A and B are shown apart, each in its own frame.
Chain A
Amino acid sequence: MNGKPAPSEQDLQAYVDGWLAPARQAAVEAYLAEHPDEAARVHDYRVQSAAVRAAMRGAEPAAVPERLLRAARGGAAAGRAAWLARAAAAALLMAVGFGGGWSVHGIWGTPDEGPVAGLPAEGDLPRLAADAHRVYAVEVRHPVEVRAEEAHLIGWLSKRLGQPLHAPNLETYGFRLMGGRLLPAASGAAAQLMYEDGGGRRISVYVQGDLSGTETAFRFAEEGALGAFYWRDGAMGYALVGPLQRDELFDIAKAVYQQIEM
């Protein structure tokens, strides 16, 4: 032994990780040169570190999935977390509704009643969507302005809304796209896409642009046999309206949400 003090355990660890300042590093090296046991320990630590690194990094999956890249770029308005939060909020609303403590039944009231006090501004959204549905869903001959078969339907509606629009495919739920129409809205235009199932039931997706940019949870409203799920995402407002049970409508609304915004 010569007079040099042994480096602390902390210094030895930092030496293994290569984080010592040059002067301290030299001191540790001088010490190790005289203490083969400690030198062997430090050597083993370095080798095992490299081995752990190789073992855990070797298994890297090759490509980064697109959804992760999208999340990193902040395409997150329709993100997973937001979606889960909204679904949870919707589930809560449904639970509250069924529990009977507070019901959103009749949320848009009778036609001459005006907006229900305390309703957020998007209370207009289900009202407009439901009015449009009531007017056009009963049409036997002209339920839509442009039929689904016509290729320009979506391009035309997108252009008039100022937002790219996708017509959700709801065939999993038995609903086929009939077509769509352009409607007047308080600010700019709105679009309505009409769907029909094998039993002749009709549901519609109502899309309105040019709203102030906020984001809301799914909300549910109903009047008589007609139910509506509606939500806001940025400048766009969406509603799904139809004479369906709440949970059936909810499943379809989730599909609409995912297809429109993902």
Chain B
Amino acid sequence: MSDFSRKLEAEIPALRRYARYLTRDADRADDLVQDSLERAIAKRRLWHQPENLRAWLFALQRNVYLNQLRRLARRPAEVPMDQVFGESGQGEAQTDRLMAREVLMALETLEPEQREVLVLVVVEGLLYKEVATVLGLPTGTVMSRLSRGRAQLRKTLTGDSPNTTSTLWRVK
């Protein structure tokens, strides 16, 4: 197996996560990941170290996804985050699970643009300038979306809005 393939394999879990974020559907997500991996293999010469492979792959996968949406004249899926990511791993404490659900639902209160930046930074550990490359935005725009996204999420989670039950959050 080539070195590149080994690196690709290591990124599969992240690609699946991002694909589920984009498609909101586990099966469609894996189809998307497969398309992305095949494309990555075909285009591997376009990746130059030390560019972060994950950022490069995310940009590629996002393009594949948007092209498919365009071709099928589909709108992005509107399945809430907690239905896609809510079925949490085994053996987790119930409070952790409730907490995860609450966080996922809180993410829904963000503008999609803010949410995507937040996820790429916080969950995938991409640098701000890498997020900018993935999304095709200036770094300044990424920064301001991150800042507003975090403020909004904090507001939701600490219960400024009357509908939110955030007891767990407060205890934590």
Residues of A within 8 A of B (CB): 9-10, 13-14, 16-17, 19, 41, 44-45, 47-49, 51-61, 64-65, 67-69, 71-74, 76, 79-82
- With A56-B119, A58-B88, A68-B12 as given contacts, are A80 and B100 in contact (CB-CB < 8 Å)? no
The answer to whether B99 touches A61 (Cβ under 8 A) is no
Having A10-B143, A72-B8, one finds 18 other A-B pairs with CB under 8 Å, namely A41-B154, A48-B154, A49-B122, A51-B99, A52-B123, A53-B122, A55-B88, A56-B21, A57-B17, A58-B100, A59-B85, A59-B86, A59-B88, A60-B89, A67-B30, A69-B9, A71-B34, A72-B37
A160 and B26 CA atoms in complex are apart in Å by 43
The answer to whether A55 touches B100 (Cβ under 8 A) is yes
Residue of A with least CB distance to B107 = A52
A59 and B147 CA atoms in complex are apart in Å by 26
Q: Which residues of B contact A81 (CB under 8 A)?
A: 34-35, 38-39
Q: Which residues of A contact B17 (CB under 8 A)?
A: 56-57, 60
Q: Which residues of B contact A65 (CB under 8 A)?
A: 30
A81 and B13 CA atoms in complex are apart in Å by 20
The interface size of chain B toward A, counting residues with CB under 8 Å, comes to 51
The answer to whether A61 touches B26 (Cβ under 8 A) is yes
The answer to whether B12 touches A51 (Cβ under 8 A) is no
The answer to whether A48 touches B157 (Cβ under 8 A) is yes
Counting CB contacts under 8 A, is B104 at the interface?
A: yes
By Cβ-Cβ distance, the 4 closest A-B pairs, closest first, are A55-B100, A71-B37, A72-B8, A79-B38
Closest Cβ of chain A to B4, distance in Å, is: 8
The answer to whether A59 touches B89 (Cβ under 8 A) is yes
The answer to whether B123 touches A67 (Cβ under 8 A) is no
Considering the complex, which residues of chain B in the window 112-160 have a beta carbon less than 8 Å from any beta carbon of chain A?
A: 118-119, 121-123, 127-128, 143, 146-147, 150, 153-154, 157-158
Q: Which residues of B contact A52 (CB under 8 A)?
A: 103, 107, 118-119, 122-123, 153
Q: Which residues of A contact B88 (CB under 8 A)?
A: 55, 58-59
The answer to whether B35 touches A45 (Cβ under 8 A) is no
Considering the complex, which residues of chain B in the window 14-47 have a beta carbon less than 8 Å from any beta carbon of chain A?
A: 16-17, 21, 26, 30-31, 33-35, 37-39, 41-42
Residue of B with least CB distance to A50 = B122
Main DSSP-derived SS at the A contact region: helix
Residues of B within 8 A of A (CB): 1-2, 5, 8-9, 12-13, 16-17, 21, 26, 30-31, 33-35, 37-39, 41-42, 84-89, 92, 96, 99-101, 103-104, 107, 118-119, 121-123, 127-128, 143, 146-147, 150, 153-154, 157-158, 172
- With A65-B30, A68-B30, A71-B41 as given contacts, are A48 and B103 in contact (CB-CB < 8 Å)? yes
Q: Which residues of A contact B38 (CB under 8 A)?
A: 71, 76, 79-82
Q: Which of these, A17, A49, A74, A82, contacts B2 with CB under 8 Å?
A: A74
Can you list 25 residue pairs at the A/B interface with Cβ under 8 Å? A17-B121, A51-B99, A51-B103, A52-B103, A52-B153, A54-B96, A54-B103, A55-B99, A55-B100, A56-B85, A56-B119, A57-B17, A58-B100, A59-B86, A59-B89, A60-B13, A60-B17, A64-B16, A69-B12, A72-B5, A72-B8, A72-B9, A73-B5, A73-B9, A79-B38
A66 and B127 CA atoms in complex are apart in Å by 31
A183 and B147 CA atoms in complex are apart in Å by 70
| Residue of B89, B101, B150, B172 with highest tally of chain A CB at under 10 A | B150
Residue of B with least CB distance to A18 = B125
